Structure formats: structure tokens, C-alpha cells
Amino acid sequence: MDAIRDEVSHCDEIAVEDIDLEDDWKLLVLGSSIDAQRPIGEQIREKAKLIREVMGTAEISLEGMRWRPDYEINESLFCTEVLSPLLRRMGFVSVRYLHSVREYGRVYQT
């Protein structure tokens, strides 16, 4: 729970609203704002994905980073599990993986 709380501190879209680590059941309440102009289902899916990423990064921080061969062939996996958490910890805000044809963040070398 502490690792999750620490990872949430690097994510500006989610906040820890309540935490109780003393109780046997443990409690962690995460909060996030909802945009009334967008469909609620879409926002819930986005927030759930973000929470899964935060939990995955917390697991890595507890276990230590292990290089996966998939990182070398799967850009999405590398960016979401390695690069985005690293950039958040370095202090960058609103880090998101948005691969598209108009994205200029990737450089090809021959």
C-alpha cells in the first residue's frame, strides 16, 4: 500500500484521499476528478487503466526492475511500464503514451 501511495504521488491525475495501513483489512481510497462533458464510462475506463499502470509500477518498485525481452519489440509495453514511470519520477507531469501518426517522439536510425 505504501508503494502504491508513493507511485500515486507521481501521478497528477489521481490523489490519495484516505489511507489506513493499521487495520487488518487495509484501506486505500483514490480520488480523481470527473469531467461532466465526457461520457462517464469512457472516463472510468481511462482511470482504471491509469490505476493499473500505477499498481504495476508499484510492483516494479517493490520487486526491482527486471528487463523483459518484450520491451525490445513492443513500444507500447516499454513506454507504459518503463519510460512513463521513469519520466514521472523525474518530475515530468501529465506523462502519457499517445502513439499516433502525428507523434514525433520516436527517432529511427539506419
Q: Which residue has the cell 490519495?
A: 16
- With 0-12 CB in 10 A as exposed, 13-18 as middle and 19+ as buried, what is 51? middle
Please give the Cα distance from 44 to 86 (Å, whole number). Answer: 25
**Which pLDDT tens digit goes with each residue over 2-38?**
788 887 887 777 787 787 777 777 677 777 888 889 8
Tell whether the model's pLDDT for residue 81 goes beyond 80: yes
The residue-averaged pLDDT of 32-48 equals 87
